[in-house]
Amino acid sequence: MPISAIILSGGRATRMNGVDKGLVLLQNKPLIQHVIERLTPQVDEILINANRELPSYQAFGYSVLQDEVEDFLGPLAGFSLGLQNAKHDYVLTVPCDSPLLPIDLAQRLMAALVEHKAEIAVATSDGSTHPVFCLCKKTTLPSLTAYLQQGERRVSAWQKIQQYIEVDFSDCNEAFTNLNTLEDLAALELKLSEINYSK
């Protein structure tokens, strides 16, 4: 079944000294480029949610969608944009700052979604839930719209209102490494220079 993906790059990046996270370099490539390269074989459409540095994001050649409200809503603003604008009935969400994301993320989430007749499938690993690594049906949009209109912002709380399934990725826990600070980035740069990470 065809899948659209939206890369969430609309955050404030307060812990990255205000630098737009998706454009920070890792191994001489922007973080979002790593994400795009891993997503491309998995999905049929890629969208980007960004609120700053728009020309830089547009240069990647994909549709760039800005939050519809200026009040910062967090990741659910990107979820909403994806569900509204995706060409396909299934929408995969991923953050821009997880350059090692699983190369079979979409496949495994879709398999669980179908098997359990769920509306939302969320990745977990080693006991942690990763709510922004999520596959959801476009039919969840009215619920999300109502949730945001109530002033709610918590991703996992909204997800669990739906027909919800968690999918275990403990076999590749490191794939969910996200880079919140420049120190995180430096540590991963060092690690990747020491080992040939392939998963």
Angle CA 61–84–109, to nearest 5: 80
Express each pLDDT in 16-66 by its tens digit: 666 788 999 998 999 999 999 999 999 999 999 998 889 999 999 999 999
- Containing structural domain, residue 62: 3-194
Domain count, the chain: 1
Q: State pTM to two decimals.
A: 0.92
Q: Is the pLDDT of residue 197 over 80?
A: no
CB contact at 8 A, 158 and 111: no
Q: Is the pLDDT of residue 84 over 50?
A: yes
Here the CATH number for the domain that contains residue 126 is: 3.90.550.10
In a domain, 199, yes or no: no
pLDDT recorded at residue 199 = 44
pLDDT recorded at residue 8 = 95
CB contact at 8 A, 141 and 83: yes
pLDDT recorded at residue 182 = 81
Strands 25-26 and 120-125: unpaired
